[in-house]
């Protein structure tokens, strides 16, 4: 999977801010760490200089 990477944040007033992290498409790795009782994914992405720009653990009930 290739994607652009953004950081998204929201203020207490509901304003959403998008900040672009990658200049181009970068490879994104998604691994399923657990599938029961809830889904747990580990998502990582590296830029062209091989700097880790995304390292997320996502839990889906």
DSSP for 1-58, written as a single string: -EE--EEEEE-TTS-EEEEE--SS-EEEEEEEEE-SSSEEEEEEEE-TT--EEEEEEE
The whole-model pTM stands at 0.80
Count of structural domains, the chain: 1
pLDDT digit string, tens, across residues 19-39:
999 989 999 999 999 999 999
pLDDT digit string, tens, across residues 3-17:
999 999 999 999 999
Range of the domain at 55: 2-60
Copy the structure tokens of residue 56. Answer: 């997320």
């Amino acid at each position: 999977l290739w994607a652009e990477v953004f950081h998204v944040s929201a203020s207490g007033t509901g304003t959403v801010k998008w900040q672009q992290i990658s200049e181009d498409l970068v490879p994104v790795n998604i691994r399923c760490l657990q599938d029961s009782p809830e889904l747990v994914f580990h998502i990582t992405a590296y830029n062209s200089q091989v700097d880790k720009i995304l390292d997320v653990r996502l839990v889906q009930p």
